[in-house]
Structure 1
């Protein structure tokens, strides 16, 4: 991920309409990933939680967009302050950013880079929501998103991608978000679920996906949008690295899907659609940090390893007793760690930099740098997220009541249901429903 301050030099590059258009298209693709994630998660929950799962992703679009414009972009990519955070007062509300100002060393406007990064900031907290399905108050979730983005995501984005950020200066490679997005979100998910506890009936009641077609649709949208997520992170440079990342994204995703399916066939005796979707996402996660550094053969290795390890990891929640509802820890945390660390072994020296991993004669120097980035982000996000969840739980309360959880969080939090079965079976053209009016039950025509 490229980053720097405003270019002021007289020989600054000129605006490229092609690169600018490319980045705006990539930004739209990354935004599409959040509704795709909503469908992916929405299909994986039970019927009574479908709308809540969709809304937990969609509310992130609203909240993070406003925060990013007001101060998030400045905190993440402004002038470095002590290697931990950035800040440009003129960027508050984007007030002093001109339409002709270019991002340093690149041929795209600052605003194009800003909106591209906005989409990353939006989807990262949305990823956390999958671990919390069925049991979190919507108001508490919305407040958590605002606080977490401010205290966790914006600083971590500066560490990893901001000029002067400690991980950036150390040489930690994260092409498009293995640490800043996936490890960050996966560790946060683990921290929150350790505080708020398990769903009612965890390990006792069947909690199967209610719509596997919806899951597959969501996975397809994620796969499609991920090309903008990954290839766009080279910011339109014409040196072929973005194309390498595009190819590696496809290759690793395919390899991970096949590896996951092979694992579950051997272990459970069937090739499942849920396994195909989950394996694809695991591959997308793992190649996100590493795709600009490895060859296509390396991408196959990254995909296979991530597919197998993530498939194994999703079962750990039953062994250790933490209720990661939709396997955010098993896929995003584990996949992000795997993809980030494998750079230390498979970096070819022919992609985004001349850094070579252990298998290409480079020793373990890059591996230790990757370890520093991975475990610093993991530890920070885990602890701070748990503290935020604890404070919210002790003040406004994080969980819905047990009765509301059993009856269905959609009705309790949104006064809606995802599907209307009242007309099932045919018959009357008009249906009567019961509506609460002034605290009384009243029959009305629908």
Structure 2
């Protein structure tokens, strides 16, 4: 196949490929000869059908296959010869739209080539990694929060009215149309006001009650209530208040520690310290990763495929528009034109994406099946009761698998860069770490 270059501007490429009618006819004949031994037609033994008859019977069908194979082979040979990779699937179309059998086949192919990525001396990168130790004050603060979340309740002074956040102990009987219904009664039920654990409107009506008081609470079951026979119906709950209790933090002692799986208070403090340092390390890694990307971005400069930048800029603009307009959930809005800031951010993302892909390929970085499975499991937890459906969705959706694979691959490449770079650990306070995270998020 004859190949002639028609476009070479930056990373844009264009070629005209011509497959002569004779070459196409030869390929059709070769395919028919290859299939001839297995073909049998009425009046002929298997493998004895004359070639002209095969051509008349199957020529048109084989012609399309031969044409497609010729174009595919020519494209493959072209990319091998040029040493180029297209950024997207090449756009291939017939140049002579009125082609008929016996004409040469003329094909136009256009694409954007991926750029050559310059070499980087990763050993010359100088990076700083923040290190934060969990001090006694941080552990004590965490203990205090833990005690508040594991709060106990103690009886309020007799005659005190229940407040939001208090626990009321009640007996109740629920009725619909004056008749008690199954599951609508309980005794000595501890209910924390404001917890939202009961039917909407129930807890609010118990604010202000006292011990010994009887109160009829009227509510309407939601239309989507799980018990269909109660959905959307009005119910009256006859309540008797038996206790009103105020919340108090749990005592910071061995009993609290045992509630959280530690042997004693010292053991709980150690666990808290380790957890805090893991959190600090995670935050420090996020900052280190940003510093790695900034350092790499400063080191490289190369042409970027225009379509990749345009697509990324549109995606950024679209995402930010929805973040600024959270009430507009659909996509029935005017087209959002990327700003210069969006385009600049898109160029950085595309540049770093191509660079990390190149570094990962050269370092033979791979995402294992186990890592992918773990990632899918982590995300599936966001859909309780639908985990299996989520697994099947990911398995049948290559684009979704690629979206989940990309951040794992990126993190592994970042780890590879950090291993080769000159990294200095710097001890900082928790406040300094938090300030760095805030500054990073504000950028």
TM-score band, normalised by the shorter chain? under 0.3
Select the structure of larger CA radius of gyration: 2
TM-score for both structures, normalised by structure 2: 0.17
Greater fraction of residues in strand: 2
TM-score for both structures, normalised by structure 1: 0.17
Greater fraction of residues in helix: 1
